[in-house]
A and B are shown apart, each in its own frame.
Chain A
Amino acid sequence: MQVKDIIQALQLTPRAGANGLDREISGGYVSDLLSDVMGHAREGQVWITIQAHKNVMAIASLKELAAVVLVRDRLPDEDTAAAANDESIPVLSTPLDAFEASGRLRDLLREG
């Protein structure tokens, strides 16, 4: 499953890094604490969070995450969007909250 394949179910709007929409998804991780993500997220996961500042992209890049999903319609900061484009890691917004977004992602991953 690729990032573009979850757009509809999670009601996502790509905001930046669209050149990475064909990244493969291995799973998901939900957290707003950066060192929690640094310590526990795995390569290829979709990171669901409310944090929209540039440090999110530093972590997404270092951990080689598949995408960042910003919940409740958060928009990436300008420098976050620029970093997402540089790294080809998509940042997408959803009107859903973290519970609903992660539930839907888990359903999709289970179905395969």
Chain B
Amino acid sequence: MEFHYHIEGGDFSRAGSASSEVKKILKQLNVDPRVIKRVVVALYEAEVNVVAHAHEGNMTVTLDPGSIEAVVEDKGPGIADIDLAMQEGYSTASPRVREMGFGAGMGLPNIKKNCDRLDIKSVVNAGTTVKMTTFFTG
């Protein structure tokens, strides 16, 4: 099964809506609540990063019997140094975004903690692709 969602950059009023849709579907499919909790954190952070840092993006969620894979792909500024971006506390969020309580530099670390496999690819001035995989067993 595969699901697609569009994510609009800069539109904080809708931030989290794609993640919320996926959560509903996983609940309906009776996926283990512990898995849902982890997946939701990772998806939300990847979604908000598109809203906060990029122009637009897409989320594709693929559900297999043994795993859930989510790819969040955006057009945007890209990430020059991914290792640096992964560090807790590192953020380039604008003052407006920080005022809302975003920009703690905890989103990518949250993603890392809440999926089993994480693969980030980015091209500066083009975009970023975040691929997250979570397995249902173990």
Q: With an 8 A cutoff between CB atoms, is B126 at the interface?
A: no
- Are A32 and B110 interface neighbours, CB within 8 A? no
Chain B 37-49 interface mask (CB, 8 Å, partner A; 1/0): 1001100110010
CB contact under 8 A between A58 and B104, given known A35-B45, A39-B110: no
- The secondary structure that dominates the A interface is helix
- Are A39 and B106 interface neighbours, CB within 8 A? yes
Among listed B1-9, B11-19, B61-69, B78-86, interface-contacting one:
B11-19
The count of A-to-B residue pairs whose CB atoms sit within 8 angstroms is 63
- Are B100 and A55 interface neighbours, CB within 8 A? yes
B16's partner among A33, A43, A58, A79 (CB-CB below 8 A) is A58
Interface size counted on chain B using CB atoms at 8 A:
24
Residues of B within 8 A of A62 (CB): 16, 19-20, 23, 40-41, 44
- Are A38 and B41 interface neighbours, CB within 8 A? yes
Chain A contacts with B in 45-96, Cβ cutoff 8 A: 49, 51, 53-55, 58-59, 61-63, 79
Q: Report A's interface with B, CB cutoff 8 A.
A: 32-36, 38-39, 43, 49, 51, 53-55, 58-59, 61-63, 79
Q: Report B's interface with A, CB cutoff 8 A.
A: 12-13, 15-17, 19-20, 23, 37, 40-41, 44-45, 48, 100-102, 104, 106-107, 109-110, 113-114
